[in-house]
């Protein structure tokens, strides 16, 4: 009988595999946020085509947003189920399946007949498409984080995940640009009649191409080595997580909740706040928010670079950027003029983007490799299901009492995430259980899973 040691260090994936892993993961992240933005922007057109003509306009929109919200509500269930399979059979297979389940329904929405053609089946089929997307989205980003972090590993993890986070901003910008460009080219009437279908068809084709490209990636060496050394979790990964990693799960959920609420407060709510409530011109506010989203993508990458280059360690870099985010949040929401919005929007985009990118690395290190996919799917999707659809309601409700109040809601979650990150830091895990050179490695959490005795 011979015992294999966890000290056997794996050779890193070659540079080509690292680039491929990061590229295909980023394409999936772009598609996720592209689809999110175009559905929101095209809600009036969708509600017109998939609702009864006898239904009042406001009720049509409620029905459409209800179908949209259904995709969020099913995310935790679909994500946890798919992630457990990913922790047992491999990251690549489930990672590819999630993108296929997202691309297919996106394409179907673009060609789905409306209420005038198939009646009540139109909203039913639209709902089924959204549910399929919700199931896939629950596993897409957690799978991407697991796949990229294990392929890159070591010092480059924060930088690679920062680039992947920037892809989400790129997806949002691309969705906004496509809808805006088509509206200018085709006009409002053509956009209402058929133009709204084009972004969904584009997204579906883009997704199918991305699924094809994922065929050329390889399973992570970390998972292959754990499988070969019989180091995978013997119990179902979800049971293992709930039994031994509840503390890290709760802390990681606070980080994910903060990211969700800050994104709502900085990317979705400002249009309502500054245009409707503070009466600033729509065109200028939209330009500033687009600029902020651009700087957010830059912040994603900048935060990862600073940590990968060891200017800060992961904990200190995250805490610093989150403190800057709190300050910039109050600075931006206190502005009453367009001229006053430019600087706080830029700095808020940078700091919030850097925090969001670093939070992905924190989440990847919150769980050991054997249950990482399941842990990420659980801690990420439950806060999104709870807070993703309620953040705008809470922010709008707070603004009724005072225009100074909305900033306090995201600021509260930023402060809670700072506490959570501080408590999670001593309990962090190495990306690879075989890598003792991991710059953020903590020996206290390294020996939990040992290889089995093999003959």
Nearest C-alpha neighbor of 431 from the set 140, 157, 240: 157
Band (pLDDT 50/70/90 cuts) for residue 7 is very low
Structure tokens that stand for 418 in this block: 């700072």
Average pLDDT taken over every residue of the chain? 87
pLDDT value at residue 2:
34
User: Which of 11-15, 154-158, 230-234, 301-305 bottoms out in mean pLDDT, i.e. has the lowest?
Assistant: 11-15
How many beta carbons lie within 10 A of that of residue 208, not counting itself?
Answer: 16
Q: Give 154 or 327, the one with higher predicted confidence.
A: 327
pLDDT value at residue 6:
44
Answering whether pTM is above 0.85, one says yes
pLDDT above 90 covers a percentage of the chain that reads 44
Q: Rounded to whole angstroms, how far apart are CA atoms 98 and 31?
A: 12
Q: Which of 6-15, 76-85, 341-350, 431-440 has the highest mean pLDDT?
A: 341-350
Segment 6-26 shows an average pLDDT of 76
pLDDT value at residue 267:
81
Segment 355-367 shows an average pLDDT of 95
User: Which of 62-66, 199-203, 367-371, 414-418 bottoms out in mean pLDDT, i.e. has the lowest?
Assistant: 62-66
Q: Is the pLDDT of residue 281 over 70?
A: yes
Asked if 71 and 130 touch (Cβ cutoff 8 Å), the reply is yes
pLDDT value at residue 21:
86
Band (pLDDT 50/70/90 cuts) for residue 365 is very high
Task: Catalogue all structural domains in the chain, each as residue range(s) with its CATH number.
Answer: 15-445 (1.20.1250.20)
pLDDT value at residue 9:
64
DSSP assignment letter at 10: P
Q: Is the pLDDT of residue 193 over 50?
A: yes
Band (pLDDT 50/70/90 cuts) for residue 271 is confident
Q: Which of 87-96, 169-178, 192-201 has the highest mean pLDDT?
A: 192-201
SS3 track for 409-433: HHHHHHHHHHHHHHHHHHHCCCCCC
User: Which of 88-102, 306-320, 356-370 bottoms out in mean pLDDT, i.e. has the lowest?
Assistant: 88-102
Band (pLDDT 50/70/90 cuts) for residue 146 is very high
Segment 214-227 shows an average pLDDT of 87
Q: Is the pLDDT of residue 79 over 60?
A: yes
pLDDT value at residue 172:
84
Q: What is the DSSP string of 255-279?
A: HHHHHHHHHIIIIIHHIIIIIIIS-
CA angle 387, 206, 141 (to 5 degrees): 35
Band (pLDDT 50/70/90 cuts) for residue 5 is very low
Per-residue pLDDT reduced to its tens digit, 224-250? 989 988 888 889 999 999 999 999 999
**Terminal Cα distance for the chain, rounded:** 5
Q: Rounded to whole angstroms, how far apart are CA atoms 139 and 155?
A: 25
pLDDT value at residue 4:
42
Q: Is the pLDDT of residue 181 over 70?
A: yes
Nearest C-alpha neighbor of 288 from the set 347, 330, 334: 347
Q: Is the pLDDT of residue 303 over 70?
A: yes
Q: Is the pLDDT of residue 3 over 50?
A: no
Q: Rounded to whole angstroms, how far apart are CA atoms 221 and 228?
A: 10
Band (pLDDT 50/70/90 cuts) for residue 384 is confident
Asked if 18 and 169 touch (Cβ cutoff 8 Å), the reply is no
Segment 255-264 shows an average pLDDT of 93
């Amino acid at each position: 009988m011979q015992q294999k040691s966890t000290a056997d260090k794996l050779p890193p994936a070659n540079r080509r595999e690292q680039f491929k892993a990061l590229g295909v993961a980023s394409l999936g992240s772009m598609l996720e946020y592209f689809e999110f933005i175009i559905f929101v922007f095209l809600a009036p057109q969708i509600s017109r085509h998939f609702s009864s003509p006898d239904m009042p306009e406001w009720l049509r929109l409620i029905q459409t947003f209800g179908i949209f919200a259904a995709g969020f509500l099913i995310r935790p269930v679909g994500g946890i189920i798919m992630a457990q399979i990913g922790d047992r059979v491999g990251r690549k297979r489930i990672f590819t399946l999630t993108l296929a389940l997202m691309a297919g329904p996106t394409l179907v929405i673009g060609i789905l007949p409306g209420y005038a053609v198939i009646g009540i089946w139109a909203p039913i089929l639209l709902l089924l498409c959204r549910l399929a997307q919700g199931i896939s989205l629950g596993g897409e980003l957690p799978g991407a984080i697991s796949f990229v972090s294990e392929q890159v590993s070591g010092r480059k993890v924060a930088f690679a995940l920062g680039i992947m986070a920037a892809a989400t901003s790129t997806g949002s910008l691309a969705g906004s640009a496509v809808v805006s460009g088509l509206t200018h080219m085709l006009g409002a009437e053509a956009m209402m009649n058929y133009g709204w279908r084009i972004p969904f068809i584009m997204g579906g084709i883009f997704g199918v191409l991305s699924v094809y490209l994922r065929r050329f990636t390889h399973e992570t060496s970390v998972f292959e080595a754990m499988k070969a050394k019989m180091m995978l979790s013997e119990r179902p990964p979800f049971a293992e997580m709930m039994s031994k990693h509840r503390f890290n799960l709760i802390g990681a959920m606070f980080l994910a909740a903060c990211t969700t609420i800050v994104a709502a407060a900085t990317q979705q709510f400002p249009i309502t706040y500054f245009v409707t409530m503070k009466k600033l011109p729509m065109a200028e506010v939209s330009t500033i928010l687009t600029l902020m989203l651009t700087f957010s993508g830059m912040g994603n990458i900048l935060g990862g670079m600073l940590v990968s280059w060891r200017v800060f360690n992961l904990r200190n870099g995250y805490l610093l950027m989150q403190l800057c985010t709190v300050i910039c949040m109050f600075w931006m929401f206190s502005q009453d003029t367009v001229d006053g919005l430019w600087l706080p929007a830029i700095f808020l985009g940078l700091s919030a983007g850097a925090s969001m990118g670093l939070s992905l690395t924190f989440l990847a290190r919150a769980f050991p490799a054997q249950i990482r996919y399941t842990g990420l799917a659980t801690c990420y999707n439950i806060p999104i299901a709870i807070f993703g659809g309620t953040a705008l309601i809470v922010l709008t409700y707070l603004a009724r009492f005072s225009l100074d109040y909305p900033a306090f809601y995201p600021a509260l979650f930023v402060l809670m995430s700072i506490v959570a990150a501080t408590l999670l830091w001593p309990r962090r895990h190495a990306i690879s259980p075989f890598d003792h050179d991991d710059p953020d490695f903590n020996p206290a959490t390294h020996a939990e899973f040992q290889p089995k005795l093999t003959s």
